[in-house]
Structure 1
Amino acid sequence: MTHHLTDVVLMRLFLLTLLLAGCTTGPTIAPMATAPDVFVLTRESPGGFPMKDKLQAEALEEARKYCEARQAVRQVVDSQTSTGWNMTGNTPRFQVRFRCVPQAEPTPK
């Protein structure tokens, strides 16, 4: 009976872990509350493995595509990089704040 109870508890913990992992969402791009024309994008390293350069490249590329989809050019306002994984649960993180500046119309000749 005890063995069965242990199996049930382990199965529930496993299912709970899967459920919580499924709730994790990817990065979102959102306007800043204090500056609606400035957007914020944060990338965190999954599992806490240090990949700061990759996080930075991915975030900047995603911001570029976001602006490009709006016929605009990405203009970086500022960025921050975390120090990386530690025992308190902090993970490598890169955050970029940017604007989408409308592309200049080509001048007719």
Structure 2
Amino acid sequence: MRKPAKTFKELIVWQKAHRFVLETYKYTKHFPKHELYGLSSQFRRAAVSIPANIAEGFKKRGVRDTMRFLNISHGSLEECRYYIILAKDLNYGSTDHLNNMIEEVSRLLDGYYKALQNSES
């Protein structure tokens, strides 16, 4: 059995979400200039929100508070899922690597949420 994480940076879900943010920044850097304040900005903000809410929820006192932040994180993840579809449909480049990353983060986030749910009961 794994020792509990002391900081959010030790959470694998946070690590993978952070990598997704870095890849999102690299990917959106090549968007057309007219997307600077549009899709590029929205996509980046939603991506950043995923690990940011995991981090914020990590030190909350109650399990329910932590779960609320994970729920917000998952909402941002779904928003990114749409931006990936939109970017692909706009022919802004291949999104396969982002799709793979977001699927992994989604699975890990689900697992973390369920583990907290089980610890509460």
More helix by share: 2
Same fold (TM over 0.5): no
More strand by share: 1
Normalising by structure 1, we get a TM-score of 0.30
Q: Which has the larger radius of gyration?
A: 1
